[in-house]
Structure 1
């Protein structure tokens, strides 16, 4: 099976921590040159320094906010203008404000749409021409199992991520003929700082303990445990590889079997 990403360049968004950082590590291990994008430069430096360079990979980072697609457009346009290309795009953005849908302000909803959908669209417009020229491209959107099964209390996330999933399916149909695949990977309950925050909020809202929330959550997962970041990253890395060239336009849950749909 060909998993080799040597001489491929990947742009991983939201890569200063959590799932984004885990994906960056996995892609680097497969030989890719990895460019990170996130707001926290200190964390970006630390992740960059920890990436594998045993095959001569060259890594870098961009300091940018996913909520500012115009700034990201400037950074990536400048990068591409130097004769470089991006073969793999991993769209990943921190979860929007939690809460019931009808308690959501228009401002928070717009922030969610901008950070998740408009930034992904902007990046795709920038990198797809190079992918077409190289007859190889991988676009991965890290979303949520909420795409298949909405999660109570995450109104904006449920709404926006489902929109990105349909955007991705449309794009997959449009550019699949050029050797480019577009897929969504849907993390379930995976050990991250974001999950710790959500468990804490749920416990506070319900007047119970975090341990009780965790126990209840695990009881809904057939695998009987929370996911590891490395397990999720491995699924993303496979879809980025040459071996996955005929997998296009799918939503892949990595959730221990929690989602009830097929």
Structure 2
């Protein structure tokens, strides 16, 4: 099985912590140079120091606010001039604030679309020409199992994740002939700060002890536990590899079997 990404360059968004950092870690282990993207320069500096360099990889970072689409266009354009072809794009951004759809402010929806949909589209437009020229490209979007089964209390997230999924499927059909694949990976309950915050909020709302609530949540997952970021990152890294060249336009849940539909 060819998992070798030596000589490839990957731009991984949200890579300073959580699922994004896990993806950057696993992609680097396959030999790729990683460009870690996040808003926090300090966290990014630490993140790239911990990435594997045993195959001569050279890692760098780009501090960027994905909700600022003009900044995304400018910064990524400059980055391409500096590094040349970027073969792999992992789109990932922090989840929008939770809450019921009916109470959601329109400005929050607009910001979420800029962060998750428009910025992903701009980066793809900038990176795909280089992928075409190289005859190799991978775009992986980290979204949510809500694209299959909407999650109560995550109104904005349900909305924008579905938009990303449909954007990705449309684009996958258009550029697959150039050796470029586009896939969505859907995290279930994974041991991150984001999940801890959401479960803490839900436990408090129900007047339950946080630790007991987490145990109850884990017991409802067929795997019987919360997932680890490294397990999610491994799935993303595989989709970025040469071995996954014929997997295109899919939604892949990495959720221990939790999603209740096919």
TM-score bracket for this pair, using the shorter chain length? over 0.9
The structural deviation recorded for 1:207 is 1.9
Q: How does 1:122-201 map to 2 (within 5 A)?
A: 122-201=122-201
TM-score by length of 1: 0.98
Q: 1:233 to 1:133 in 2, by over 3 A?
A: same
Q: Tell me the secondary structure at the aligned position of residue 139 of structure 2.
A: strand
Partner Cα separation in structure 1 for residue 127 and residue 177 of structure 2: 16
Counterpart residue number, 2:224: 224
TM-score by length of 2: 0.98
Partner Cα separation in structure 1 for residue 199 and residue 87 of structure 2: 36
Counterpart residue number, 1:73: 73
Counterpart residue number, 2:249: 249
Q: Tell me the secondary structure at the aligned position of residue 90 of structure 1.
A: strand
Partner Cα separation in structure 1 for residue 186 and residue 71 of structure 2: 27
Counterpart residue number, 1:100: 100
**Structure 1: 4+ residue segments shifted above 4 A:** none
Q: Tell me the secondary structure at the aligned position of residue 213 of structure 2.
A: helix
Partner Cα separation in structure 2 for residue 226 and residue 21 of structure 1: 18
The structural deviation recorded for 1:105 is 0.4
Counterpart residue number, 1:22: 22
Two-structure CA RMSD over aligned residues (Å): 0.9
Q: Tell me the secondary structure at the aligned position of residue 97 of structure 1.
A: coil
Q: Which structure 2 residue ranges, 5 or more long, are not aligned?
A: none
Counterpart residue number, 1:46: 46
The structural deviation recorded for 1:70 is 1.3
Q: Which structure 1 residue ranges, 5 or more long, are not aligned?
A: none
Q: Tell me the secondary structure at the aligned position of residue 225 of structure 1.
A: coil
Partner Cα separation in structure 2 for residue 129 and residue 106 of structure 1: 34
For each residue in 1:83-102, what CA deviation from the matched residue of structure 2 results, as whole angstroms up to 9, or x when unmatched? 61110000000000101111
Q: 1:47 to 1:82 in 2, by over 3 A?
A: closer
